[in-house]
Structure 1
Amino acid sequence: MTPTQTIEIHPSTEVPPVIQLPQPGRIFADRHARFAALSQQHSLSDWLAYLGRLTQAQHDIALTLDTLAPPPPDAVERARQHGMPPLAALSYPRPANWTDIARRLAEKMAKGAPEAMHAPLAALGAMTVTELDAIADALLDGRIDPDALPETTIVAAALQTIWTALAARLDVKTLAIPDPSELCPCCGSLPVASILKTSAQINNLRYLHCSLCNTEWNVPRATCTACNTDRDVNYRQIDGDDGSVRAECCDHCKSYLKIMAQEKNPGVDPVADDLATLALDLLVDEAGYSRSGPNLLLLGGAG
């Protein structure tokens, strides 16, 4: 008779990270792959495929930004002492060549772009630095020109790529969760969504995902990420879906933000899966809730 063997399972002794900095070498490549998967047999397949190409272009450019200088340590320390993010989107100086990056993205996207995008992409390529700076300033301040949505999406993608590269070069030990906690500890931007992560080190902890620099930071579950209440939160999803993407809705402030579960679908991406579930936005919007964080790639619309 074979003796009984006892298998001992030891939980990870590592403390889960409070803040996870982005990895520019893979974040956009992974997102491109997710867009490619989501675009199969989707009612918005052409649009999702276009955004997949845009994230591939972001990846190509991100690989060239490894020498981008982070803020000096004394500036990071001053920001920490004052409870401010070191890469504050509205005040941190953009690299001198950021407009070249926007033009490179437009040039990459012009090849094989839908006919409706030809004129906007050409127009962006001809814009002056002043004009591009004005679009970027308005975007980061939440003011969107409805007559320049396609151009704004390219500018947003350029800023995403740059801020992701900058955030990756920070020392996570110098960062702290800001107050209010719904703002990114690196750049102060709002989150695009939250994600329940599963790994050997992280077991279903909830992280907010920055809409600009792709940093993630831990916040308690079942808490409104806009007003911090834990009493009036409910969850909604499209009937028949697998539950990997739900809307976390707050009856106190009437806001919502999507929450995604890796346990349900390991491949979920906060940006791509958000854009592939616009029907959920319509559902909760009709129920009287307003979205609390932006998706910068949604600015060009879905049609």
Structure 2
Amino acid sequence: MDKITSTARLMDAEELAQRQAGEASFLQLPARSSVFAERSMRLRQLASGHAMGKFLQFMAELADAQQRALASFPVVPLPDGEALMQASRLGMPPLPGEHWPRDPAWQQCLRQIATEVLPKAPEGGREVLQDLTQADGEWLEQQADKLLHGVMQGLDMAAAPIIASALQVYWTHLVIAVQEQGAPAGLAEPFGRVDDATACPCCGSRPTASVVKAGAERGGQRYLHCSLCSTQWHMVRIKCTHCESTKGLVYESMAPVDATEEESKGREPVVQAEACSECGHYLKLVHADRDVMAEPVADDLATLTLDLLVAETGLQRHGVNLLLLFGESEEPAPDPELQ
């Protein structure tokens, strides 16, 4: 059993802002060779002895399949120089998840992933995966639209994590390919700051979680991790990731119910929920500075109990994990073995 514990912000807001100003590079783009492989490694580590161990192990298999798909992703259309300039002028992401015209290559990626993980899936999820290997393209596009627009009604909740995994590979490839293509004349970088600081500067999606970095270059800096394209962007730790307020931030974490106060103090949690009393939202904060193996998506999946405990206080989650969705659906209920 677990209980929730709270801590307040320890550093004065202005002091932290001054310390962080100018120190952090704004963007950390995904690495083609390792982005999903690192997630898989962390998921396998977290699965050992975990109550959701079988689920986390399957998610590790899924991440491995994503890594292979990313490594062999075909050439697809990218925004040209004028489109990148226009997005920069408007303060908009150049690869918007809700509006970018998807190339059919993402569907082939989905079928590849579903085929690869099918033999390793729990028995209850194999029918869903088999259906996805042969799914109608128009239906897949409809499901993708719902996922990318955050529409739960009519979304096949059992198939959604696999569909989302292919969309993640596609958008991660797009971001990497645009960066490799380079910026047009007159633009320093193809990606930069956008008007909405709480949304991904590359694709406009919500974050899954934020991560506090370790190491000499970015140690202590907080980055938001995009739920779709794996980009990470800097946001100072004094701000709520939903409303950007610098007031009323509290950090919730889990501790065993039988732990003494002294024992709880001696354990620095790797994952906390950063809760804002101003807007009533929260987002997970993953401390890579406390565990260098921590990975935002993996650690978010492994701390579902924290979401349940925080939700009981009436707070709403700001971010989204596309691999674990909840909501109303007109489709049959998802099989608990897969979702």
Instruction: Provide TM-score, normalisation by structure 2.
Output: 0.82
Encode CA deviations 1:198-229: one digit per residue, 9 max, x unaligned. 22211211100000000011011021110010
User: Hey, what does 1:252 align to over in structure 2?
Assistant: 278
- Aligned pair in 2 of structure 1 residues 186, 174: CA closer, same or farther (>3 Å)? same
Q: Does 1:18 align with 2:26?
A: yes
Pairing 1:170-209 to 2, within 5 Å after superposition = 170-171=178-179, 173-209=189-225
SS at structure 1 position matched to 2:282: strand
| Matched AA of 2:315 | Y
SS at structure 1 position matched to 2:51: coil
Encode CA deviations 1:78-114: one digit per residue, 9 max, x unaligned. 1111111010001111122211111111111111211
SS at structure 2 position matched to 1:198: coil
User: Hey, what does 2:227 align to over in structure 1?
Assistant: 211
Which structure is higher in RCO with an 8 Å CA cutoff and minimum separation 6?
Answer: 2
Is 1:66–1:165's contact at 8 Å kept on the other side of the alignment?
no
Pairing 1:252-291 to 2, within 5 Å after superposition = 252-291=278-317
SS at structure 1 position matched to 2:221: strand
Q: Does 1:227 align with 2:243?
A: yes
- Aligned pair in 2 of structure 1 residues 267, 44: CA closer, same or farther (>3 Å)? same
What percentage of aligned pairs have identical amino acids?
36
- Aligned pair in 2 of structure 1 residues 302, 17: CA closer, same or farther (>3 Å)? farther
Instruction: Provide TM-score, normalisation by structure 1.
Output: 0.91
Shift of 1:176: 2.2
Shift of 1:279: 1.0
Shift of 1:301: 8.0
User: Hey, what does 2:37 align to over in structure 1?
Assistant: 29
Using the TM superposition, name which of 211-220 and 161-170 deviates more. Answer: 161-170
SS at structure 2 position matched to 1:234: strand
Q: Which runs of 4+ in 1 moved over 4 A?
A: 300-303
Is 1:36–1:52's contact at 8 Å kept on the other side of the alignment?
yes
SS at structure 1 position matched to 2:33: helix
Pairing 1:93-108 to 2, within 5 Å after superposition = 93-108=101-116
2:145 and 2:44 mapped to 1: Cα distance? 31
Shift of 1:15: 5.2
2:155 and 2:232 mapped to 1: Cα distance? 32
Shift of 1:144: 2.4
SS at structure 2 position matched to 1:298: coil
2:286 and 2:123 mapped to 1: Cα distance? 34
Please point out which of 259, 269, 274 is paired with 1:243.
269
1:111 and 1:145 mapped to 2: Cα distance? 30
Is 2:61–2:120's contact at 8 Å kept on the other side of the alignment?
no
Structure 2 stretches lacking a partner, 5+ long:
1-21, 180-187, 256-263, 326-333
1:52 and 1:124 mapped to 2: Cα distance? 19
SS at structure 2 position matched to 1:296: coil
Is 1:44–1:302's contact at 8 Å kept on the other side of the alignment?
no
User: Hey, what does 1:6 align to over in structure 2?
Assistant: none
1:222 and 1:237 mapped to 2: Cα distance? 18
1:254 and 1:205 mapped to 2: Cα distance? 24
Q: Does 1:47 align with 2:47?
A: no
User: Hey, what does 1:113 align to over in structure 2?
Assistant: 121
Structure 1 stretches lacking a partner, 5+ long:
1-13
SS at structure 1 position matched to 2:238: coil
- Aligned pair in 2 of structure 1 residues 192, 147: CA closer, same or farther (>3 Å)? closer
SS at structure 2 position matched to 1:203: coil
User: Hey, what does 2:82 align to over in structure 1?
Assistant: 74
Is 1:32–1:53's contact at 8 Å kept on the other side of the alignment?
yes
2:104 and 2:214 mapped to 1: Cα distance? 39
Shift of 1:69: 4.5
Shift of 1:151: 1.1
- Aligned pair in 2 of structure 1 residues 266, 278: CA closer, same or farther (>3 Å)? same
- Aligned pair in 2 of structure 1 residues 52, 193: CA closer, same or farther (>3 Å)? same
Is 1:47–1:302's contact at 8 Å kept on the other side of the alignment?
no
Count the aligned residue pairs: 290
| Matched AA of 1:213 | C
CA RMSD of aligned residues (A): 1.8
| Matched AA of 1:226 | H
Q: Does 1:292 align with 2:288?
A: no
Shift of 1:177: 1.9
